[in-house]
Structure 1
Amino acid sequence: MADKHVIMDDIAIRRALTRIAHEILEKNKGVENCWLIGVRTRGIYLARRIAERIAEIENVPVPVDELDVRGYRDDVARVHSGAMAPAGGSMEIKDKTIILFDDVLYTGRTVRAAMDALMDLGRPRMIQLAVLVDRGHRELPIRPDYVGKNVPTSKLEQIEVRLHEVDRIDEVIILQQRGHAE
């Protein structure tokens, strides 16, 4: 059994993404030569939402694409070798600032896999990382540039991001496993 606690509702998620959009614009002095890339599955929806906010704020479009990193994971059986094709066609990332989006940052292994995949597609000028939730417990020296919410967790807890595009609701919940001793 697990106890469920909502740590971000739809309003908190919207506010966090709006703040991240402003931080991206400030850090990069706009979005010229920037490309937003979401890690499949929920990262792409976050990247699209950020792109919409940037378009509202600056009145300029920013390219968005998605990346499937399953073939680059070192902690699951290899699905494919080589770069996974982006959903929107071929990515021309050479000399671009890539802003990589994921829903939850935990060990850092998904981000490492995404960086490996990006390097196989070309050499970006810079890679920045945006996450909705940073829960700690890193196994690799990876740090996000943009964070919606820092949520210190135990290893017995899980963070689940639910987005309207996939789950018909916007919320972030923390699941506490009951009956386990640390």
Structure 2
Amino acid sequence: MPHTITEVLNHNQVSTRIRRMAWQIYESNSSNTDIILAGIANGGYLLAEKIVAELRKISPLEVNLHKIIMNKKDPLGSEMHLEPEAGNLQGRSITVVDDVLNSGNTLIYGVRYFLQFPVREIKTAVLVDRNHKRFPVKADFKGLSLSTSLMEHVDVNIEKEPYSVKVS
């Protein structure tokens, strides 16, 4: 059987979804003066960068961008940290960002990192939600819900233009 690749979202569609997610995050945080977006390396951080750029165009929020560094294969066996360090997180609103929500493993450990601090709230954002969760985590902001088989692979390309989301 030949290996097929299907483009699910093209450049304009990906850009529109990112812009829409930025508006949703802004609306959810409109009573705040600032927000922290923490993108899970690598794809989540790339998405967070794009969302931050949109937020800075549309909102007066002070937006702080951080990268969550973690070993996705062994999140408990290695130290997880932020780059740059975030300082005092007390009372802050955090949005943890990843490119694809599959089993929920990576996203739930990304959220777990912030539970050691007395933050105001933690929300999650993903470009693609595959609905194959094994962990009790949901995306508060998502670009696309996609029904796929467990055998299929979702490839998000937002590192350089043209952006795309493909399934193979």
Return the TM-score normalized by structure 1.
0.83
Residue 52 and residue 20 in structure 1: after superposition, are their counterparts in 2 closer, same or farther (change >3 A)?
same
Residue 143 and residue 52 in structure 1: after superposition, are their counterparts in 2 closer, same or farther (change >3 A)?
same
Structure 2 CA distance for aligned equivalents of residues 90 and 20 of structure 1: 23
Residue 23 and residue 62 in structure 1: after superposition, are their counterparts in 2 closer, same or farther (change >3 A)?
same
Structure 1 CA distance for aligned equivalents of residues 104 and 42 of structure 2: 16
| Correspondence 1:160 to 2:161 | no
Residue 9 and residue 92 in structure 1: after superposition, are their counterparts in 2 closer, same or farther (change >3 A)?
farther
Structure 2 counterpart of 1:174: 167
Deviations 1:97-153 (A, max 9, x none): 100100000110001111222234x23211100000001111112111001011101
Unaligned runs of 5+ in 1: 176-182
Query: RMSD in angstroms over aligned alpha carbons?
Result: 2.0
Structure 1 counterpart of 2:78: 81
Q: In the TM superposition, what are the counterparts of 1:4-153 in structure 2 within 5 Å?
A: 4-29=5-30, 31-70=32-71, 73=72, 76-77=73-74, 80-82=77-79, 84-120=80-116, 122-153=117-148
Whichever residue aligns with residue 102 of structure 1, its letter is D
Structure 1 CA distance for aligned equivalents of residues 75 and 63 of structure 2: 32
Q: Aligned to 1:44, what secondary structure does the other structure show?
A: helix
Residue 79 and residue 146 in structure 1: after superposition, are their counterparts in 2 closer, same or farther (change >3 A)?
closer
Whichever residue aligns with residue 136 of structure 2, its letter is P
CA contact (8 A) 2:33 2:62 kept: no
CA contact (8 A) 2:37 2:65 kept: yes
Residue 7 and residue 31 in structure 1: after superposition, are their counterparts in 2 closer, same or farther (change >3 A)?
farther
CA contact (8 A) 1:51 1:61 kept: no
Number of residue pairs the alignment of both structures matches: 167
Tell me which protein shows more helix as a share of its residues. 1
Q: Which has the larger radius of gyration?
A: 1
Structure 1 CA distance for aligned equivalents of residues 148 and 106 of structure 2: 18
Unaligned runs of 5+ in 2: none
Structure 2 CA distance for aligned equivalents of residues 174 and 19 of structure 1: 22
